Amino acid sequence: MFDCKLCSEACYTSYICVSCNRIKDMVNLYSRDVVISVLDECLVRNDIKRKYKIDKIKNSNDIKICTEKVKTETKDIKNHENLNKRCLKELKRKLDDIKEV
Ligand SMILES: [Zn+2]
């Protein structure tokens, strides 16, 4: 039993597994440079493709929903803080009233 030289998958009759042998056939058929070029073109993200992906994520509904949720929660926290401040003011005022009596 061998490990495929390309993908390390176990293979029994050769140093290259069946799947990697297909790649080897394509290299023989089209040339190594053409196969690498096609793989670069189809699989590797260049700057334009990365920017497209980032823009797509930024504009996705999930991000918008998440952003709105954070805004709402922030607003709730501020409202709660304001309520606490008002309660404290009211308590201080009542304490002052008690002291004067
Ligand atoms: Zn392989």
CA dihedral sign of residues 32, 36, 42, 43: positive
Cα(33)–Cα(67) distance, integer angstroms: 45
Please give the distance, rounded to the nearest whole angstrom, from the Cα atom of residue 39 to the centre of ligand 1.
16
Cα(19) to ligand 1 centroid in Å equals 6
Per-residue pLDDT of 20-70, as tens digits, reads 999 999 999 999 999 999 998 889 888 888 888 888 888 887 777 778 888
Predicted local distance difference test score (pLDDT) of residue 61: 77
CA of 3 to the centre of ligand 1 (A): 8
49 C-alpha to ligand 1 centroid (Å): 28
> Which is higher by pLDDT, 17 or 67?
17
pLDDT digits (tens, 9 = 90+) for 65-99: 778 888 888 888 888 888 888 889 988 888 888 87
Residue 16 near residue 24, CB atoms below 8 Å: yes
Q: Is the pTM of this model over 0.85?
A: no
